[in-house]
Amino acid sequence: SAFQVGDQISFEGYADDFDVAIAAVQFSMDGGKTWTTCETAGATPDKGVYWNFTYTAAQPGAYKLDARALTANGTVSPLASSIVFEVE
């Protein structure tokens, strides 16, 4: 079922790199043209980072949230995780 305009839509997930700490998780709602960076202070290489993102759509339509990790050594995930959703 689709979400309604004005709904607060929450997403969550985990990011890890197995041997390097995650320095930040980045989110994009415009197909990767721009990214919002949320730093993950205190992350360690031996643990994944839990993230959550809340979005409120002002207009109906199809949307896509992209999420990717940035590691402590400056590497950006080569593939973003994507979630497509519909707002009525």
What pTM does this model have? Answer: 0.89
Residue 19: is it exposed, middle or buried by C-beta count within 10 angstroms (0-12/13-18/19+)? exposed
With a cut of 80, say whether residue 1 has pLDDT above it: no
CA dist 33 and 43 (Å) reads 26
Note the pLDDT tens digit of each residue in 43-55. Answer: 999 989 999 999 9
